[in-house]
Structures are given as structure tokens and as C-alpha cells.
Homo-oligomer: A and B are copies of this chain.
Amino acid sequence: MMRDTTENIPFAISQFSPAQLREALRKMHLIRLFEEGAEESYMRGLIHGTMHLSIGQEASAVATCMELTDADKITSTHRGHGHCIAKGADVGRMFAEFFGKETGYCHGRGGSMHIADVKTGNLGANGIVGGGLPIAVGAALTAKRLGRDDVTVCFFGDGANNEGAFHEALNMAAIWKLPVIFVCENNKYGMSTAAAYATAVPNIADRAVAYSMPGVTVDGNDFSAVAEALHEAIARARAGEGPSLVENLTYRWRGHSKSDRNRYRTKDEIEEWMTRDPIARFRAELIAHGVLGEAEADAVEVEAKDAVAAGIEFARQSPTPAVTEVTKFVHAEVAA
């Protein structure tokens, strides 16, 4: 495949191999289709409880995780399906979790809000807004103390940035120069509450100065912009220079959760943001720069579709936990 050699090559195109870029596109499709599959499964009664879908935010999840290995950690949020997939989880085990099955990542104990895949470095979604912020700092502390070079990426929302945990976590990460990158997915709202109302600064990244760390705001629907910001932040972290704050401006197409009536935002606003689809944009970019052809791009989407269908099937056929095992996993099992 020919690589574009003009000056206007987006960062991602010049930074990653075609195989990597193809895989990134596949993951973005996988996230979108996973969310749609979860939504449908919910409607059909296969999933209960609540869910927070990340449709519209796929570039943020995938581009952020682009340079992370399984040794690197992430902490995720209540809106964490995309992060989990981006970090390498298997959608079959994710669906199984949402269906409450024993084969799920959490053996049916956690569900959507606690989806995790420790083996690929995902320390877990979190039902507590801001709960992952200090945990991520702790993970980075471990790396530093044990002399490992892994970094931790901490996802959080614009709403979470007003939690005290944000302040305490960023301050400690800064004074100890820990290898952690705080990635704010600013989708303009925390549930119904506009960031413009709830947050006393225009951009969340403006708060980085309060911790003497670099802060940058990027178009979170632009894969390359996110990847570039993370590239710098990760390099800084691995070099022992400390934490960074990256803010990805993005938008969730769906309501906050299943019970949202969207009364706090206009249809126009939603539609306008839907024209900024991060997947379509990335796909077009890959095609424009000759990374993929149309047919190949279509094949990537089909591949993702098949994976989702297979994942749902796996989940459906999986066994449920024994109802007697309510207290299993509360503590470490003691050898008899």
C-alpha cells in the first residue's frame, strides 16, 4: 500500500503501520456495533439494570489506547465499554458479563458498570464517578516503585472533574511525578448537567496549571489529534517526567443511560454532532491517505459485525452462576 508523502499527513497515518490503522478502525466499528448490540439486547430483555453507551466517542477510546501495551493499565468509567474493547477485551466475554453469565469477565457479578479485563490491563469500569482517578495514580505508583516502565491512562468525564478525587489525584500524581495520563472525555454533559454550567473553567484542561502539568484540549472525534496528544503524554510519562492531562472534546449520541429523555439538550445539537461521526471521519481519512481501499474498509466493518454476532451468541449459550454462590469472590478462596 502506498503511503501519502505530502506535508499534511495526519499524525496517526505517519506514526502507525497500515495494519495498526486497520485494527484501529476495526476496533472503532467493534465499539459502535457492540454498543448497538448491547442496546438491542437490552431491549430484548437479555440485559437488565442500566447501561451507558459510548456511541459517538469511539475515536477517543481507540486513539487513546493506541500506543498502550497489555502491561500498561487503564482505569475506566461507567461509560466504559469502548475503553474495554480499545484495550483489547473480547466482546463475547463482555456480552456474557452483561447477560449475567459465569463466562463473563466478572463472572456475572459486575455487569456493565464494572466491566474489566485485568489481563489486558483494564483495571475496570467504575460505578463511582471519579472513583478511578486515585486508583490510576496508585497503579502508576506501583510502576514507579517496582521500576517498571508501564504507564496508566485514567479515563474520566467532564462531570467527574468536579469531584474532589480529581483534585487530590492530580496533585499527588504531579508531586510524585508519576507515569499517569489523565484523559478527560468531555462530552459536554455529566448526565443532564452541562459542563458549561457545572465547571468554572471553559476547558477542563485549563485546570492542569493548578497541578503544574501539561494540559491540552483536542478534538476528541479526530483520531489523529487524540493519538498525537497521547503520544506526547505517554512519552513524557515513560521518560519519568510525570503526568499530563488530555481533554478529548466529544459527544455521546445516546442519552446518558437507558432512562434519559434528553430534555437538557436539543435535537439540533445531537444531529449536528452526528455529522461529526468519528468513525466515518477516520475511515475517510484512511482511504484518502491510501491506507485502505473502500472494499477493505467495508470488510473491516463486516469483520466487526461478525464478532459482535458471535459474541452475543457465545453469551446467550453461556451458563449462569449458581444461585447459591452469592458469597463467592467476596474474599480470596482459602485453600482447604
By a beta-carbon cutoff of 8 Å, the part of chain A in contact with chain B is 162-168, 170-171, 174-175, 197-201, 206-207, 209-213
Taking the nearest CB of chain B, how far is it from the CB of A238, in angstroms?
20
Instruction: Report B-chain residues with C-beta under 8 Å of the C-beta of A201.
Output: 209-212
List 8 additional A-B contacts (Cβ < 8 Å) besides A163-B164, A174-B200, A206-B209. Answer: A163-B167, A164-B165, A167-B168, A171-B199, A175-B199, A201-B210, A207-B210, A210-B210
**A134 to chain B: closest CB distance in Å?**
10
Task: Give me the 9 closest cross-chain CB pairs, A-B, nearest first.
Answer: A164-B164, A167-B167, A174-B200, A210-B210, A207-B210, A200-B211, A200-B212, A164-B168, A171-B200
- Shortest Cβ distance from residue A222 to the other chain B in the assembled complex, whole angstroms: 26
Contact between A175 and B197, CB atoms less than 8 A apart: yes
CB pair A175 B200 closer than 8 Å? yes
The DSSP consensus for interface residues of chain A is helix
A197 neighbours in B (Cβ, 8 Å): 175
Cα A168 to Cα B168 in complex, Å, equals 11
In the bound complex, how far is the Cα of B175 from the Cα of A197, in angstroms? 7
Bound complex: CA A165 to CA B170 (Å)? 14
Minimum distance in angstroms from A9 CB to a CB of chain B: 36
Most chain B CB within a 10 A radius of its CB, from A168, A206, A210, A212: A210
Q: How far is the CA of A148 from the CA of B197 in the complex (A)?
A: 24
11 contacts between A and B (CB under 8 A): A162-B167, A162-B168, A162-B171, A164-B167, A171-B199, A171-B200, A174-B200, A200-B210, A201-B211, A201-B212, A209-B210
Once the chains are docked, how many angstroms separate the CA of A212 from the CA of B210?
12
Chain B residue numbers with a CB within 8 Å of A167 are 162-164, 166-168
A190 → B minimal CB distance (Å): 13
Q: Within 8 Å CB of A175, what residues of B?
A: 197-200
B-side contacts of A200, CB under 8 Å: 170-171, 174-175, 210-213
Cα–Cα distance between A30 and B211 once the two chains are bound (Å): 39
Instruction: Name the residue of chain B whose CB is nearest to the CB of A170.
Output: B200
- Give A168 to B175 CA distance when docked, in angstroms: 20
Q: In the bound complex, how far is the Cα of B210 from the Cα of A201, in angstroms?
A: 6
Q: How far is the CA of A170 from the CA of B200 in the complex (A)?
A: 9
Q: Give min CB distance, A241 to chain B, whole Å.
A: 14
> Separation in Å of the A213 CB from the closest CB of chain B?
7
Chain B residues near A199 (CB, 8 Å)? 171, 175
Cβ–Cβ < 8 Å partners of A171 in chain B = 162, 198-200
Cβ distance A94 to chain B, nearest Cβ, rounded Å: 32
Tell me the bound Cα distance from A174 to B197 in angstroms.
Answer: 10
How far apart sit A57 and B162, CA to CA, in the bound complex (Å)?
32
Q: In the complex, what residue of chain B is closest to A166 when comparing beta carbons? A: B167
Taking the nearest CB of chain B, how far is it from the CB of A114, in angstroms?
23
Q: Which residues of B contact A209 (CB under 8 A)?
A: 201, 206, 209-210
- How far does the alpha carbon of A210 sit from the alpha carbon of B211 in the complex, in Å? 10
Q: Which residues of B lie under 8 Å from residue A212 when comparing CB positions?
A: 200-201
The distance in angstroms between the C-alpha atoms of A298 and B244, with both chains bound, is 56
Closest chain-B Cβ to A214's Cβ sits at a distance in Å of: 12
Assembled-state Cα–Cα distance A210/B45 (Å): 45
